[in-house]
Structure 1
Amino acid sequence: MADGYGIMLFLNTIAELTKGGCSTPSHPPVWQRQLLNARSPSPRVTRTHYEFDDFTLKTKSKAIPEDKLVRTSVRFGPREIQSLRNQAQNQHCTKFELIVACLWKCRTIALEIDHNDPVRFSVVVNVRNKKLGMNFPIGYYGNAFVYPAAISKAGTLTSSPLSYALDLIQRAKKQVDEEYVRSTADLMVIKDRPKYGTPLNYIVSDIRSLGFDKLDLGWGKPLYGGIPWATSDISFSNNEGEDVVVVSICLPPLALEKFKFELRNMTCTEQITNFEENY
């Protein structure tokens, strides 16, 4: 198993070899799974991990029907980003944080979730960052990420300004340090590798900087690079040119229409484009 970063290490190695520039990889693959072993002899969960909690939901909050979904992409250009920044109340944030705060709020409204139910947003965080002190070698292909969750009551999220969702997401990301990663690894052992909590959890992975759109196997760069699909609870953020961010999303038809309406109101634009029909 490999995450996006690991996949790109592999593909770049293939590119090096196919173009004939070298006979051995510049970054040989490393298999050091012990880097993410639980602490021994005493694994311990020291942080709060909302991303793995299961909640009892109100009957009004129905599960998303997996067999009746529409796959769609949302494009955010300079105009949409500026519209969101105007609502952020001078809050310092990244473009990605603005976009996902907007999507989380609009998606929650569209799904008509009971106002008292907890909703979550999980952001995928690469833990190879040297500042975390995890000391992953460059050629480590395996999974090396966590997905801390922001949590709120649905009613509070949908009735609050965008800055509220933005603040929750930023706080979730700031949790990630070496101790958070170690606590996650220990939780995997103590709770027998639980799946992330799916009820009313929305996960977005930002793959814009991985370089899928720049991969050259010897006959030029691709016309498109990235992941074009989404599931009912997972989206991916890709680049489209220098100034446009494209996010895939998947929703039931009726919820999608309401999602479009909310998104247009929030960004003051028309920017929903179908990626694919029902599947």
Structure 2
Amino acid sequence: MPSPAEAFKAVDGSGLTVERSIPIAVHPEYEMPGGFVFLTSIDQVAHIVVSTVYCFDRSAENAVDVVKQALSQVLVPYYPLAGRLARSSEGKLIVDCQKKLGVPFVEAVANCDLDSLGDMSILHPDVLGKLVYKDPTTQNMPEIAPLLTAQVTKLNNGGLILGIALNHCMSDGISAIKFINSWAEIARGEPLSVVPCHDRTILKPRMPPQIRGPYDDFVQLSDVSNLTALYEKEQIVYRSFHFDSEKLAAVKRMATAGGQVKRSITSFVALAALVWRTRSMALRMKPHQQTMLTFPVDFRSKLSPQVPDGFFGNAVVFPCCLCTTGELIDEPISSTVERITEAIERVDEDYARSRIDYLDAYGFEEFALGTLLISSWTKLDYGSSDFGWGEPRQFGTGSLPAKSCLFMRGWRDKKDVVVVLSLPFSAMNTFQELLQV
């Protein structure tokens, strides 16, 4: 029997002490115009705060001042991040740039070095709460909370962690990493390689809306497997599974076995098929339980004309694969691979415009527990986030929604993939046993 993928538990932060300063507001270096920024129907449903950490094993003596000063400068081209959310006369979220409240910035010191923290791809909530500052208004008054916060934590032996909390309604992963890398360019004394574009009206819904299929994407799943009770009864655990190049090759061989796949496939498609099937089995879904796999697909290059390279916002849609658990488990994994590949290929301009129209007309309903949402961060260019003392040695995030899974780059070898997800305790143990490659 092949060995299971190596599993890592989230760093629990035992003994980690972080002393913080009082937050100060960092404003754009120059006075910026007021007004309001339109948010698309995709932005409207992405109203959650995403926390990330950039971990450096060395830094400069004046690193905190460098990062803070560069933030003030980068907020000139990225001025909406210093604003706050508001409601338009139609009740839609917009960014109010007239409230010049700035970005909360925190300095901190920790009692450890980077090596002692280990794998940072997935952080225990306690650790995340110490390394990423969240404004107290974020939880109870999200519409007046900052859109961005920053914390710089100095470590022993010269290390440093930059912790970011960013409201997802402002950007998807591609835009977010461009912002961070622009911030880093300014810190290095270099001009911006990409000038941000804040005109989101290019993604306005059509009037009248033109909503076309496939309509599987809009299906709401019934919980015939009583997954809600399982999630309420058991402790939810977070775990990450490391796939090196050898294990990835094994997954791709397994995913193409049986002759159903007639083309080359990516590591994402092969891993997504494996994780979707394995999670469904680990949760002991009933054969007639509908299950859905969905994932973000960037449509910037799909539109005509293309979305500008510097577009700062959300430009992803979520195609899906829908079937019963019985169909998913009984079919060869190569057939699951075909489902996923076909879903990706469906994304064209008409598909993206149709989804924008649908969200504007009907909004978004929370995914059911029978759904698995996989986001791949493996191609995000966080290696360019060099503030003057080298690229981050690690990049990570925190707790995940129950239906979510992340694919991240390995922290030892960038060609490796780390699969991060959360499950009820019993299901996680079964998942780890079943994840054979």
Determine the C-alpha separation between the residues in 2 that align with 1:20 and 1:218: 9
Deviation at residue 32 of structure 1 after TM alignment: 1.4
Alignment partner of 1:217: what SS? coil
Determine the C-alpha separation between the residues in 2 that align with 1:65 and 1:10: 36
Task: Name the counterpart of 1:50.
Answer: 216
- Indicate whether 1:176 and 2:347 are aligned: yes
Task: Name the counterpart of 1:157.
Answer: 328
Determine the C-alpha separation between the residues in 2 that align with 1:13 and 1:224: 19
Aligned residue identity for 1:108: S
The aligned runs of 1:263-278 (5 Å cut-off) are 263-264=435-436, 267=437
Task: Name the counterpart of 1:128.
Answer: 300
Residue-by-residue CA offset, 1:226-273 (whole Å, 9 max, x unaligned): 435433111111111143111111001100111111112xx1xxxxxx
User: Among the aligned pairs, what percent are the same residue?
Assistant: 25
Determine the C-alpha separation between the residues in 2 that align with 1:227 and 1:51: 27
Alignment partner of 1:225: what SS? strand
Determine the C-alpha separation between the residues in 1 that align with 2:252 and 2:193: 41
Determine the C-alpha separation between the residues in 2 that align with 1:257 and 1:176: 35
Residue-by-residue CA offset, 1:105-141 (whole Å, 9 max, x unaligned): 0000000111101100002101112x44352111111
Determine the C-alpha separation between the residues in 2 that align with 1:140 and 1:106: 37
Aligned residue identity for 2:189: G
Which structure would you say has the larger RCO, counting Cα contacts within 8 Å and 6 or more residues apart? 1
Deviation at residue 14 of structure 1 after TM alignment: 0.6
User: What TM-score do the two structures reach when normalised by structure 2?
Assistant: 0.56
- Indicate whether 1:73 and 2:240 are aligned: yes
Aligned residue identity for 1:4: G
The aligned runs of 1:8-19 (5 Å cut-off) are 8-19=177-188
Unmatched tracts of structure 1, length 5 or more: 268-279
Determine the C-alpha separation between the residues in 2 that align with 1:18 and 1:194: 39
- Indicate whether 1:216 and 2:386 are aligned: yes
Determine the C-alpha separation between the residues in 2 that align with 1:78 and 1:61: 37
Task: Name the counterpart of 2:198.
Answer: 31
Q: Please identify, of 215-224 and 82-91, the stretch whose mean Cα deviation from structure 2 is larger.
A: 82-91
Deviation at residue 49 of structure 1 after TM alignment: 4.1
Aligned residue identity for 2:403: D
Task: Name the counterpart of 2:270.
Answer: 98
Q: Please identify, of 138-147 and 159-168, the stretch whose mean Cα deviation from structure 2 is larger.
A: 159-168
Change (3 A) 1:37 1:196: farther
Contact 2:211 2:354 in 1 (8 A): yes
Determine the C-alpha separation between the residues in 2 that align with 1:134 and 1:195: 30
Residue-by-residue CA offset, 1:156-206 (whole Å, 9 max, x unaligned): 111222112111111111110000001001101221x21353341101111
What is the root-mean-square deviation in Å for CA atoms of aligned residues? 1.8
Contact 1:213 1:226 in 2 (8 A): no
Contact 2:409 2:418 in 1 (8 A): yes
User: What TM-score do the two structures reach when normalised by structure 1?
Assistant: 0.87
Change (3 A) 1:100 1:228: farther
Change (3 A) 1:85 1:27: closer
Larger radius of gyration: 2
Contact 2:237 2:422 in 1 (8 A): yes
Alignment partner of 2:394: what SS? coil
- Indicate whether 1:244 and 2:413 are aligned: no
Task: Name the counterpart of 2:13.
Answer: none
Aligned residue identity for 2:268: F
Change (3 A) 1:21 1:213: closer
Contact 1:207 1:226 in 2 (8 A): no
The aligned runs of 1:189-204 (5 Å cut-off) are 189-191=360-362, 193-204=363-374
Residue-by-residue CA offset, 1:8-34 (whole Å, 9 max, x unaligned): 111111111111123xx3322211111
Contact 2:174 2:380 in 1 (8 A): yes
Q: Please identify, of 158-167 and 49-58, the stretch whose mean Cα deviation from structure 2 is larger.
A: 49-58
Aligned length: 259
Deviation at residue 142 of structure 1 after TM alignment: 0.3
Alignment partner of 1:190: what SS? helix
Residue-by-residue CA offset, 1:71-105 (whole Å, 9 max, x unaligned): 10011122322322332125321111111110000
Alignment partner of 1:169: what SS? helix
